[in-house]
Structure formats: structure tokens, C-alpha cells
Chains A and B, each alone.
Chain A
């Protein structure tokens, strides 16, 4: 069982539609990070959220950290084919020496 559960595992939508990816845990995190990974490459950071209830926007991407710092969501508005990729959430906890633990990822495909 992974510390961070992501859902859904796969998401295929038409260009212009909206989508939401969820990242849930029973543990409290010091911070949560969202990464995007392209085929054949390592993950690249999109955003870090550190405060419960925090909302961050990155162009068409909106990230939210739950009030209790146990969960997070990524919402993409008007998705484009360039948003296609593997989205990974990662969390660190002071009680776990700040080791970065990842969810299983959500594969997003945006069809033109």
C-alpha cells in the first residue's frame, strides 16, 4: 500500500475539457509537490504547497492543499494536447526525515 493514493490512474479527455486529479493519504505532510513526467525523462516539478488550504495557480493549472494537509488536487482547465503526461504527487513528512514519497501517478491523455 502506497502512502499517497492517486486517482484516477488513467484519464483520457478531449481538448478543451477540464480534469481533476486527486492525491489522498491518511498521513499529514509538511508539504506536497506535484510533478509532471514526459516519456523517457525524469519528473519535473510543477508546484509545491505547504500551508493547509493553500491554493496555487499556474496558468490553467490549479493546485489545492487540503486543510488538514493530508490531500491535494490538481485541476486543469481547458486541457490542451501539450498537457498530456504522467502527473505525480509527492509528499514529505518531518516524522519520516523529509524523505520524498510518491504516489503511483495519473496518466493524462488529451486528444486533439
Chain B
């Protein structure tokens, strides 16, 4: 079972470059999330999608955009990368009130 698949696993960007992080889940979950994880900060919610066609800002949405392409896929886009966006990014999916399943993460470095 694939679960939640994120690509790429590693990425280095120059300041000002753009990129899209891809996420797909095969568990038929309605809810999908994008988090970033920084040392000592835990997981901070960037964007959330409660269902196909809906998205909502989380705690730290500035500098990011998302697309819920269909029920399976939820992508995160950085339009103009900044060094402050250096982090590990996790995609997750769940049903309301139930276990969240996470991808393996994308380690992004912006130089």
C-alpha cells in the first residue's frame, strides 16, 4: 500500500525560483494537509483542504499556494522561494477525527 506519496524527497532552490511539491494519497481521504517542520517548532500547518475543491489557510500560509487537483492530489507551490522557506515539508491525509497519514517528507533548501 502506497499511502501518501510526496515528490521530490530533496530539493535545492535558489532564492526567487519557483517549484511545486506534489502529494498523492490512495486512501480515499477527504482531508489533506501541508505542514512544514522546523527544529523546535513541531509541525506548523501551511494549508488545509477539507474536501476536493476547497482549501483553507493554516498558521503559516504566506509565500505558498495550493491546489486540490482532485480527491487524491494536493500540491504546494512556492512562487518565489526565500531562505526562510528552507524546511522539511510534509503532506498528510485523514478523515475527520481519525489518524493522519504522512508522506516521507521533502527536504527543501533555499540558498
Residues of A within 8 A of B (CB): 2, 6, 9, 30-31, 33, 35, 40-45, 48, 50, 88, 90, 92, 97-105
- Could you tell me if B43 and A92 are in contact, using CB atoms closer than 8 angstroms? no
**B residues touching A (Cβ–Cβ < 8 Å)?**
4, 31, 33, 35, 40-45, 48, 50, 56, 58-59, 90, 92, 94, 96-100, 102-105
Chain B residue with the shortest CB-CB distance to A86: B42
CA distance A9 to B40 in the complex (A): 8
When distances are taken between beta carbons in the complex, the residues of chain A under 8 Å from B4 are: 42
B105 x A99 contact (CB < 8 A): no
Are A48 and B99 interface neighbours, CB within 8 A? yes
- A40-B105, A41-B105, A42-B102 known; A98-B43 Cβ under 8 A: no
Q: Which residue of B has the minimal Cβ distance to A50?
A: B97
